[in-house]
Amino acid sequence: MTRTVLERCVDFAIGMLTFAGAHAIEVAMWRPWFGGEHDPWFLNAGSAAGFTLGCVFVASGVASMRSGSARPGRGVTLALGAFAAMAVVLFLKEGGPGTIFPIVLAVGGVFLLISSTLGAWIGREVRGAVKGR
């Protein structure tokens, strides 16, 4: 397996685990941290969305900083992993995905992509600044 393929697999897994971990925390702390008016879901509360997107941003930034390569697509691959986890969680939740699931997937995917690519870009810039370009 080439290094690039392995890096992409690791980035995808990081994205999946980051979203799944953030969702698990949201479920556990839904009422005290996020208000708990609706079902636990990262798009059901602004603070939950900020928490999940912040987790994806940080994970992407750290992955980009720690990497031996400054591959620009790193954030996209991580976002794809987070999107996959989001889709699985959405379809496995009690009551099913709901009738507006295509909109939820599209909006959630765009938010995850923006957060992840921004994190990867900043992580790459920090890595370059620390290394003294």
| pLDDT tens per residue across span 27-67 | 999 999 988 788 888 988 899 999 999 999 999 999 988 86
How many C-beta atoms lie closer than 10 Å to residue 68's C-beta? Answer: 8
Check residues 128 and 14 and name the one with the higher pLDDT.
Answer: 14
Residue type present at position 116: S
**Distance of alpha carbon 25 from alpha carbon 20, whole angstroms:** 9
3-class DSSP state of 36: coil
Rounded average pLDDT over 16-34: 95
pLDDT tens digits for range 120-129: 999 988 888 8
Q: What distance, in Å, lies between the first and last C-alpha atoms of the chain? A: 30
Give me the pLDDT at residue 70, please. 57
Q: How confident is the model at residue 68 (pLDDT cuts 50, 70, 90)?
A: low
**Distance of alpha carbon 133 from alpha carbon 130, whole angstroms:** 8
What the block records as the tokens of 93 is 């939740």
Closest alpha carbon to 60 in 10, 4, 129, 131: 10
Q: What is the pTM of this model?
A: 0.90
